[in-house]
Structure 1
Amino acid sequence: MPAEFGATPWGRAWVRTIESTSTAGPNALLPRARTLARNTTTVVAAGTGHVEADVAVSGEVCRVRIDLPVWPDETQAEAARLVAKAMAEHRGMAAGDLPDMLEADFRRHAISIAVRLEEQHSGCTCRARPRPCVHILATIYALAQLVDERPALAVELRSATAKVTVAADPDWVVLSDLDPAGFYGD
């Protein structure tokens, strides 16, 4: 069974930022954060240099914002070159998808996809003292799921110039656009 969080190398890079093996012991907040990510975390916005989410807990919504540093210009240029090369070699990929081998190319060129907790600037409307709080951790898990679903987001988060998304799949239909009566018949 594939991992729920970090099923691809792209999402796994984000999961590693909070499930670090270099700490003295496991973070006791992680099981609760995974539950919140599964059930009550909604990523409201994710784009160049930031992630925003709403995490509902016991009827209260905590708003989370995580600011991420973008890559320096030379790193952005190298990342764009690697993405272009990979997309040329893998024509016909779905919108927002990137080949897994590209993540390995990024690592070989010392291009970090995810941002370590120490480098993130995060805030939450909760009153919890320890940072990162469970809501911030849940947001990172939810982000890892989004990145698993659409790996191009991993590049877009770190690059001010990223344009890796290809044209939308013409066979993709948003469910809310369907009329149930017309779809299933009378």
Structure 2
Amino acid sequence: MMPPEFGATPWGRAWGRTVEPTSMARPNPLLPRARTLARNTTTVVVAGVGHVEAEVTVSGQVCRVRIDLPLWPDETQAEAGRLIAGAMAEHRGLVAGDLPDTLEVDLTQHAISIAVPPEARRGECTCRARTRPCVHILATIYALAQLVDERPALAVELRSTPTKTTVTADPGWVALSDLDPAGFYGD
């Protein structure tokens, strides 16, 4: 069985559930098109503290999407920081940007939401669709779920201020951007 394309990890799944909640009375007819757009034409330009920006191209037209996300309150950030520090101490050697899946369970048990439900986020799109969220906003959330699957630490970064809750990289790893290509192999 192949893993799901959107939400292969608990971190991405949390974001996927915001567009595909199990409590839906009927399926949203925009979701198949949104998944196709996320798969083929959505480029997340910025995903950082409190917002996501993307460009979704449909029939040569680029729609710009911005989704603003509320940050965790100070107490929540402090509790998340404590849980993250404990989980990272237990799982030394993780690749930079990765988080243990058990941390998602711990955060959920402490009522710390990873993903932002539709009613708590604000999405804007340059399209003319009257329905909100439009297919472009939904595609952006699917693309975000994929990014979070690839780098779970992004789920925490989206909701917290950098000084309050940080996910530290393994000290044995060096970011490629920190290396000087000219001197990497010596003289």
Q: 1:17·1:117 contact (CA, 8 Å) conserved in 2? A: yes
Q: Is the 8 A contact 1:67 1:122 kept in 2?
A: yes
Question: Secondary structure at the residue paired with 1:97?
Answer: coil
In the aligned structure 2, how far is the partner of 1:73 from the partner of 1:116?
Answer: 19
**Where does structure 2 lack aligned partners over 5 or more consecutive residues?**
182-187
Alpha-carbon deviation of 1:33?
A: 0.4
Instruction: Give the secondary structure class of the aligned counterpart of 1:64.
Output: strand
For residue 23 of structure 1, report the CA deviation from its aligned partner: 2.1
- C-alpha distance in structure 1 between counterparts of 2:85 and 2:166, whole Å: 10
Contact 2:69 2:122 (C-alpha < 8 Å) held by counterparts: yes
1:44-123 to 2 correspondence within 5 Å? 44-123=45-124
Q: Which runs of 4+ in 1 moved over 2 A?
A: 167-170
Q: What residue is the counterpart of 1:162 in the other structure?
A: 165
Instruction: Work out whether residues 52 and 63 of structure 1, in 8 Å CA contact, stay in contact via their aligned partners in 2.
Output: yes
Give secondary structure in 1 for the equivalent of 2:66. strand
Give the % identical residues. 75
Is the 1:124–1:136 contact (alpha carbons within 8 Å) kept by the matching residues of 2?
Answer: yes
- Give yes or no for contact 1:124–1:135 (8 Å, CA) kept in 2: yes
Aligned alpha-carbon RMSD (Å): 1.7
d(CA) in 2 for partners of 1:157, 1:107: 16
> Which residue number in structure 1 is paired with residue 150 of structure 2?
149
- Offset from partner CA, 1:79-117 (integer Å, 9 cap, x none): 000000000000010010000000000011000000001
- Contact residue 94 and residue 170 of structure 2 kept, 8 A: no
1:4-33 per-position Cα deviation (integer Å, ceiling 9, x unaligned) = 000000000000000012122000000000
User: Residue by residue, what CA displacement relative to the aligned partner does 1:44-66 show, whole Å, maximum 9, x if unpaired?
Assistant: 00111100000000001000000
* Counterpart residue type for residue 9 of structure 2: T
- Does residue 41 (structure 1) correspond to residue 42 (structure 2)? The answer is yes
- 1:89 maps to a residue whose letter is E
Find the residue that maps to 2:13 and give its secondary structure. helix
TM-score when normalising by structure 1? 0.90
Aligned length: 175
In the alignment, is the contact (CA less than 8 A) between 1:6 and 1:15 conserved in 2? Answer: yes
1:76 to partner: Cα distance:
0.1
Work out whether residues 49 and 157 of structure 2, in 8 Å CA contact, stay in contact via their aligned partners in 1.
yes
Q: Structure 2 length normalisation: TM-score? A: 0.89
Structure 1 position 125 matched with structure 2 position 126: yes
Question: How much does 1:162 deviate?
Answer: 2.9
For the Cα contact (< 8 Å) 1:64–1:124, is it kept in 2? Answer: yes
Provide the residue aligned with 2:185 in structure 1: none
